[in-house]
Structure 1
């Protein structure tokens, strides 16, 4: 546009011999060009991502680039708001009885942005691309579950899995790319791999190195065409830059955690917030290497002392999904009918008394004679990391509650590295901690006897069996029942006191409206229903 305006002005200067009508025409065209540029920007939704090393979604290693490319590419299947697999490119499927072979039927009305039809061969090629992708690429994990993908006709596909597993279907949530366009393009930064061609709601118009990617609405998109016709994805250096740019009105959308979002909505009435279920799970863990916590009654006593309503109001500022199990309440697998351990200090005190604890010397701290015949004081240390304000608040309030019913409590606040070392080595009694979980549930790492992250030292044969049953269930009914039984048993045994899943938030400027329904798997979910105010 600047080049065009420059050429018009130059032409006008060459005709300054008295042809005033030409001068006026040049001024008019220049002004019109500027107005068109401004109008174009007014109709453009502005997002951000990091500098991409590739725009091929299957070779990409950056999460922010992956989110942006979800506007261009569609997955084979998708994850809904509740974490359940839903149709996308595949419209239907059937699983074999052993859970290791899947037959899928693809939609027959999908076309790539270059006009070619989407076929089963493209899906098979996409899987082969994943197999040759970098080990740290976003979708490399697919190969952990999928053994092979082969076409059985233009719109029919057969997928084989390494084993029967409840997460197998979710492993198919990878973007599909056209074989005819990407074949032979193994270099991530090749010209083809920097020119994205998908079948999603937006097609790529241009990419300017270290500046921005321009997308335009794809008219033949199989659902309704997006209301927002143009998207600019600016290249930014990091989250801090994104925060600044959103504050300055440069970006229209910012995805962040709920605690950060509160600062913006409180200061700016024009900012809109759209919360969705997050995957950061906060809990209080017992150290089962301590004889003290072999008592289920004692663990239950601590659970009844946790003031969850206070935590939801004062710590999370209501921006969390409070949970009674290690599964998010947003998930289709969440079991509501478990022991909730609602805040009840009287119940806590009663359980301690029933477990043999008393304050015989009247000093305010409970004691009991242990199995060795020695007098044991009810004394514990709560480990928490210094940098996490919310968890420190939880630890401090829990300490107050436990002291009130006879515990002697010390809060051990440590920098994260020391905190992590203590957690992993078992140098604590209680720990206030959190996990960033997968949006597809599998709890074996945390609670199985040999779990990779079972730092609490928990071991229970019945729980191990339930974990394996849940992991290897195949049908929706089997999976739902297995996870229901598992959650009920976990609530009964209480290795963790579950607190909450923190919410995430999509913030938008006042220009953005419409039906905005982000999910954990795709913050642009339903973007065709978004609108943009242009006046």
Structure 2
């Protein structure tokens, strides 16, 4: 009863905090340092929070724009506002961290993962997409026009666009990009297949035609989404894709058209990115308040956020995302927080979520038996995990996708329910599967004397109490769970089929395509395609229909829902958890605009494309306050409740 009461009080406390734009705790006996610069910043920030900018970018016809070679075309553009705060300052170094050194500097091919993509796939796309309403904004292209075939978009490029080595970025780089991504030399079948759908033609030095080859009846929004891609520096590769590219360029980054390029790196200490001098993108209003730092230092900090907080407290890094509610409550007790030197920021967003949870390798016995897989699902009480401190900041994911919406059409079947926690059903299934005897420790064995042992591989640590909960629940059904935490090499084991169950996450898009996730064609490939090793003829037929679909968007969405239901029935995946709130600890000199984050923006302290900055005057005041052993008011900011879904 005591634990439940404590849980209730904690939950009510969170609700209280969440209901306020600003929370302040003032120690009764504290000696305070008054900072006028902090006071002014916070007042202005709250004014900005009351009147967030219009993030939309509706496209319109630019009557005065033309391209000589295409005199009869109507050209569209959009004019997004300047999202940046009037208080934003340019310059300085942002100190952040990653948990492991990137396995590769390539953003595709073997061993490329989310980290390598985030750091090195920073070339600007033809069109940027607003993280508030998914409207299109000029980026590599300033204007676009639609051909009458409803398959081709003409893009007029920004003539001021430069690669980070100073070379002009032109139409040739976009033509080369499609050839590059279609090449077998990059050893990436997903990229090969996706870019085989595009045909690019050079119109002039700064204009291209991009045709989406599959015969689909797309709207303009869908067509822009399908033909939007990033360039590859043709001059860097001398116009050819190297035969041994995946090996020879493993640690050689390409030039970028983005605002930051790799300057130095060290396997132990991390990576340093420097701002591209006079970055061309700042000519756009919507990029003016973005990418404010001169330098970004990525420190390698092994382990979870709790370990990173140790580095934060000594000011070796500027901020840390809190991974769960336990860390959130611990943060409230940290001296650097109660003394007001470090702020806590809570950002709400609407989550686009792909597969995150437990992936079953059906090629590994006994998981080739659907009865065993269903029994495992019945024996894990994921909903019960939400009734712990861990679960306060988590929500249950119930499908292989969530929030995948385009043009108001949802691609997800939100009626799907995972198999419920039910030990009785688990026991019945295991008896039917032949595991009907027990050893002296209560673990099931089959007629061959083999114990029902299953290993769960994970690269991101789960709280010990949650692992203990899963272990004890599974044992009630006679299943012995083993947990293998691998900070390094977990993804390689998954790609090389060396796992039974993997707790992990795969990226997704607003328009999902699970062809690569489940089709039998990819059951034996050494990559992240069909890591389940699944072979199912009926599902293959649905996946092929979807991959080659030519009908309306609404019918395509219904077909995806049918695929989701089929996957759910095969019991190869347990959807786990997701969050739609990010909590961040950051030193007070790290400043954010009053709107904090946009509707679909998850990581609001992403430095390469973020709208935040560091204030040197606040930094100096923090130094003085600490030297004089004085406090500054403790602050918790909650500025984006407008993004909360009812």
SS for the counterpart of 1:44 is coil
SS for the counterpart of 2:152 is strand
- Give the TM-score normalised by structure 1: 0.60
Distance change (3 Å), C-alpha of 1:442 and 1:461:
same
1:142-291 equivalence runs, <5 A: 144-147=193-196, 148-152=199-203, 157-160=208-211, 174-176=229-231, 198=257, 213-214=274-275, 221-224=283-286, 226-227=288-289, 230-236=292-298, 238-239=300-301, 246-249=312-315, 251-252=317-318, 265=331, 267=334, 269=337, 270-272=343-345, 274=347, 281-283=356-358, 285=360, 287=362
SS for the counterpart of 1:158 is strand
Q: Does 1:480 align with 2:529?
A: no
SS for the counterpart of 2:560 is helix
Of stretches 470-479 and 375-384 in structure 1, the one that deviates more from structure 2 is 375-384
Shift in Å at residue 346 of structure 1? 7.3
Distance across 2 between alignment mates of 1:141 and 1:432: 21
Distance across 1 between alignment mates of 2:471 and 2:106: 51
Shift in Å at residue 248 of structure 1? 4.1
Aligned to 2:161: 112
Q: Deviations over 1:410-460 (max 9, x none)?
A: 2234575799879976886xx353244455744344432342355655332
SS for the counterpart of 1:231 is coil
Shift in Å at residue 401 of structure 1? 2.7
Aligned to 2:640: none
Shift in Å at residue 317 of structure 1? 4.4
Q: Deviations over 1:49-93 (max 9, x none)?
A: 9999xx9999xx99878756888x531144665997955445667
Distance change (3 Å), C-alpha of 1:394 and 1:56:
closer
1:106–1:156 Cα contact (<8 Å) kept: yes
- Give the TM-score normalised by structure 2: 0.52
Q: Deviations over 1:176-200 (max 9, x none)?
A: 5899x9997999xxxxx999785x7
Q: Deviations over 1:212-241 (max 9, x none)?
A: 624668696333463468422244564569
Of stretches 464-473 and 514-523 in structure 1, the one that deviates more from structure 2 is 514-523
Residue of structure 1 aligned with 2:170, choices 93, 107, 122: 122
Aligned to 1:469: 545
Distance across 1 between alignment mates of 2:471 and 2:482: 11
Distance across 2 between alignment mates of 1:137 and 1:427: 26
Of stretches 77-86 and 131-140 in structure 1, the one that deviates more from structure 2 is 131-140
Paired residue total: 465
- Give structure 2 stretches of 5+ with no counterpart: 1-86, 243-251, 266-270, 338-342, 619-646
Shift in Å at residue 341 of structure 1? 3.1
1:253–1:509 Cα contact (<8 Å) kept: yes
Distance across 2 between alignment mates of 1:410 and 1:56: 39
Greater Rg by CA: 1
Aligned to 2:519: 448
Residue of structure 2 aligned with 1:74, choices 112, 124, 142: 124
Task: Give the number of the structure with larger relative contact order, counting CA–CA contacts within 8 Å between residues 6 or more apart.
Answer: 2
Distance across 2 between alignment mates of 1:113 and 1:220: 12
Residue of structure 2 aligned with 1:322, choices 389, 396, 404: 396
Aligned to 1:390: 462
1:292-441 equivalence runs, <5 A: 294=369, 299-300=373-374, 302-312=376-386, 314=388, 317-318=391-392, 320=394, 322-329=396-403, 335-341=412-418, 343-345=420-422, 348=425, 380-385=452-457, 389-390=461-462, 396-404=468-476, 407-414=477-484, 416=486, 431-439=501-509, 441=512
SS for the counterpart of 1:468 is helix
Distance change (3 Å), C-alpha of 1:479 and 1:150:
same
Residue of structure 2 aligned with 1:513, choices 592, 603, 608: 592
Distance change (3 Å), C-alpha of 1:245 and 1:168:
farther
1:236–1:242 Cα contact (<8 Å) kept: no
SS for the counterpart of 2:479 is strand
Distance across 2 between alignment mates of 1:285 and 1:56: 28
Distance across 1 between alignment mates of 2:133 and 2:542: 21
- Give structure 1 stretches of 5+ with no counterpart: 1-39, 188-192, 369-373
2:359–2:574 Cα contact (<8 Å) kept: yes
CA RMSD in angstroms comes to: 6.4
1:48–1:236 Cα contact (<8 Å) kept: yes
